[in-house]
Structure 1
Amino acid sequence: MAWFKRKKKGIRTATEDKKDVPKGLWYKSPTGKIIDHEQLAANFYVSPEDDYHVRIGSNEYFEILFDDNKYKELNEKITSKDPLKFEDTKKYKDRLAAVQDKTKLNDAIRTAVGKSKKTDILVCAMDFQFIGGSMGSVVGEKIARAIDYAIEHKLPVVIISKSGGARMMEAALSLMQLAKTSVKLAQLAKSKLPYISLCTDPTTGGTTASFAMLGDINISEPGALIGFAGPRVVKDTTGKDLPEGFQSAEFLQEHGFLDFISHRKNLKDKINLYIDLIMNKKVRT
């Protein structure tokens, strides 16, 4: 039995001094591929083995698109109110306070201006972690103000959509943002300024039904889920069996719903290429 006994104590670490492996050190993609988190970040948050595009937020998109990650955020202090006094299992104002504290975001979209490949652009980027990227009054207002700023300063606009749709806690006020953002984009078009719409995973509901599909160029990342309603609702409404993957970016591009699908590492080059083409400028290399 001596085989199973420790003959020498040696150096032993006390239980309270043992440390767990830091959370987030490794990432496992849906196909089971494992990658070091630092390597994932260095690869634009794309798993190199299976090319899976991990969901990212406004911070990461700003870092990708703006030169040296330098930008000025617009209207960052705007926050949602609770005019309808919505109350379900939890009061809306309490849920807002909780998610603002957790995410350190004021709402589901951030807008910023800066240089991309040495050209000034305005970028609106949604954050899915804020109540599923739902579109409420603040989302509509910040997009409207951003477009006003772009028109005043003659800037191209990029909107990065990542949303579950309208925010039910704001009911009709949320639905009004579809018309509000669409009108503002019409004003941008009248000013002959480009609008590039980037649909990321997922882009659904009222977002798809408004600004996400109104770009001069509509692009997406590989594998993104894009649609208005869920597959079950669509099937019940149409009464027909639906093709496999009918809400994937690849299916939508094949059927003319999207103009282009771009790998995340190429987004900055592609977006600036389209801006140059629309504004009839010399294409930058």
Structure 2
Amino acid sequence: MTEEYIDTDPFEMCKGCHRRSRRSQWESHYYVCPVCGKYKNVSAGYRFSLIFDNKSFKVINRGITSDDPLNFPGYKEKLRSVKERTHLNETAVAAVGKISGVKTVAVVLDSRFFMGSMSQAAGERITRAIEAADKHKLPLVIFSASGGARMQEGMFSLWQMAKTADAVEEFSRNGGLYISVLTHPTTGGVTASFATLGDITLAEPGALIGFAGPRVIEQTIGKKLPKGFQRAEYLYQHGFVDAIVERSELKKTLTKLLMLHGCKVTGGTPW
């Protein structure tokens, strides 16, 4: 007879300061370390619950799932394992709901699923979400968190850069409002495509944002990078992002931006 392990530890450790705090403190601080202020990665569902009214939203495009287009060794097994662990079937999760009464399409890259890497299915989900926002004349919010392209899918992954960027271009050409929220980390092909094409670009404090990582850049150019290079605060100072927004202030900030851009409050359900 085997015993099922039940985690009864009421504490969680911060990966930044390595101090332990009660889970209730993490929850009340929006999963920001109560000791050092380091941001913890959170799930797509949690992000949706923070921005959508009454935590009410409808997930869309959930039927688009990852496969193994290149028969990459071990990929099917890894996909199966990650799906079981996260209860997701892809990193990109799209939903429609209301932000302070404004019907909005939102997409979150959930970093628990292959570190938010861009797969063929993820690119398709993002593209269809953008197209849905375009079709129904709704604002679009995308939360990016990614290590880049998913190597197990090769060119099928890299193609998503052009596809998502083209969808954003069409959306913008038709007058759509796109707010991009960069979270930790946003790197690789995601940074080089839809993540940095927003009309307004926000970032969470301390987020690493860039194409190649700082260690790769230092090794390539043979020079030491400035302190804080590629962090949200450095990029804000140099005009790469428009604002750094605390997680606790995100819904309020999104509401202000939507209202400033003339988005209308609607009645009824958001879908």
**Alignment TM-score, normalising by the size of structure 2:** 0.91
Report the more deviating stretch, 48-57 or 162-171: 48-57
Q: Say yes or no: does 1:169 pair with 2:152.
A: yes
Residue of 171, 191, 199 corresponding to 1:208: 191
> Residue 71 of structure 1 contacts residue 115 of structure 1 at CA under 8 Å; is this kept in 2?
yes
Deviation at 1:120, TM superposition (A): 0.5
Deviation at 1:244, TM superposition (A): 1.4
Residue of 95, 117, 122 corresponding to 1:112: 95
Larger radius of gyration: 1
Which structure exhibits the higher relative contact order, with contacts defined as CA atoms closer than 8 Å and separated by 6 or more residues? Answer: 2
One-letter identity of the residue aligned with 2:71: K
Residue of 230, 239, 242 corresponding to 2:213: 230
d(CA) in 2 for partners of 1:280, 1:154: 10
One-letter identity of the residue aligned with 1:273: K
Residues 259/97 of structure 1: CA separation in 2 closer, same or farther (3 Å cut): same
Residue of 168, 179, 187 corresponding to 1:196: 179
d(CA) in 1 for partners of 2:120, 2:217: 27
Q: Say yes or no: does 1:268 pair with 2:254.
A: no
Report the more deviating stretch, 151-160 or 236-245: 236-245
Instruction: Tell me the equivalent position of 2:17.
Output: 31
Sequence identity, in percent?
A: 43
Report the more deviating stretch, 26-35 or 240-249: 26-35
What's the secondary structure of 1:129's corresponding residue? coil
Output one character per residue of 1:125-145: Cα deviation in whole Å (capped at 9) or x when no partner: 011111111101111100111
Residue of 41, 49, 64 corresponding to 1:55: 41
What's the secondary structure of 1:120's corresponding residue? strand
Residue of 129, 142, 150 corresponding to 2:112: 129
Deviation at 1:267, TM superposition (A): 0.4
Deviation at 1:280, TM superposition (A): 7.2
**Alignment TM-score, normalising by the size of structure 1:** 0.87
Output one character per residue of 1:128-171: Cα deviation in whole Å (capped at 9) or x when no partner: 11111110111110011101111111110000011111000000
d(CA) in 1 for partners of 2:196, 2:7: 43
Output one character per residue of 1:180-233: Cα deviation in whole Å (capped at 9) or x when no partner: 000000111011111000011111111111111111111111111111112222
Structure 2, unaligned stretches of length 5 or more?
Answer: 266-271
d(CA) in 1 for partners of 2:43, 2:227: 28
d(CA) in 2 for partners of 1:110, 1:228: 22
What's the secondary structure of 2:223's corresponding residue? coil
One-letter identity of the residue aligned with 1:27: E
d(CA) in 2 for partners of 1:22, 1:206: 39
What's the secondary structure of 1:184's corresponding residue? helix
Structure 1, unaligned stretches of length 5 or more?
Answer: 1-18
Residue of 16, 22, 34 corresponding to 2:8: 22
d(CA) in 1 for partners of 2:7, 2:76: 36
One-letter identity of the residue aligned with 1:218: T
One-letter identity of the residue aligned with 2:252: D
d(CA) in 2 for partners of 1:105, 1:73: 12
d(CA) in 2 for partners of 1:115, 1:281: 11
Output one character per residue of 1:9-34: Cα deviation in whole Å (capped at 9) or x when no partner: xxxxxxxxxx98713x2122222443
d(CA) in 2 for partners of 1:97, 1:109: 16
> Residue 102 of structure 2 contacts residue 263 of structure 2 at CA under 8 Å; is this kept in 1?
no
Deviation at 1:281, TM superposition (A): 7.1
Deviation at 1:279, TM superposition (A): 3.6
Instruction: Tell me the equivalent position of 1:220.
Output: 203
> Residue 194 of structure 1 contacts residue 279 of structure 1 at CA under 8 Å; is this kept in 2?
no
d(CA) in 2 for partners of 1:193, 1:150: 8
RMSD between aligned residues: 1.8
**Aligned residues between the structures:** 260
What's the secondary structure of 1:80's corresponding residue? coil
